[in-house]
Amino acid sequence: MFNQEFLESHDIIPAFMPVDLSTAVNTGDRVNLKNYERCVFVMLASIGTAGDDPVISAQQHDAASSGNSKALNFTRIRHKVGATDIDAIGQFSLVEQAADASYDSATIDSAENESLIAIEVQASDLDTDNGFTFVSFDVTDVGSNAQLGTGFYILQGAGYVNEIRDSAIA
């Protein structure tokens, strides 16, 4: 019996490498969902300063660079937040919001804690009729105080299974 490996039907792509989230807007690279069913954006952030909570926003695009961009709404945010031992938090908590293209993590006090935040969008959420197949997530400048963070994408539901996948970043 064939045992499909995770990376034969999924892909993991950096959105932005570890950076001080207070230096500028952290613009996530664009990924193409043309051959995938969904994308999970994951952000990991260290403890920062109260009030400097990351705001995460989603966009859809019709090109790998330049082109047209517009907001991509989402409603569900999952998170693990802990003062120092985020690895001790077993289950994700769920936050549901009205459809919006951004999420302010101040509602979960993420700046005062270590945090892992995951937001999932489906390819069917994109305006594919008008050529929007790319997605990106950005994290705003958190303020003047240092806070280390990084973001990456997990793409799921490949339209085909293969040991060597076509790139989702081109």
For the chain, what percent of residues have pLDDT higher than 90?
69
Q: Name the pLDDT band for 1 (thresholds 50, 70, 90).
A: very low
pTM for the structure as a whole: 0.90
Q: Is the pLDDT of residue 4 over 90?
A: no
Q: Which domains does the chain have, with CATH numbers?
A: 8-156 (2.60.120)
* pLDDT tens digits for range 64-89: 999 999 999 999 999 999 877 787 88
Q: Where are the beta strands (DSSP E) in 46-73?
A: 55-61, 69-71
* DSSP H/E element including 27: strand 26-27
Cα 93-94-99 angle, rounded to 5 deg: 155
Q: Is the pLDDT of residue 162 over 70?
A: no
Q: Name the pLDDT band for 2 (thresholds 50, 70, 90).
A: low
Q: Are 4 and 162 in contact (CB under 8 A)?
A: no
Q: Name the pLDDT band for 163 (thresholds 50, 70, 90).
A: low
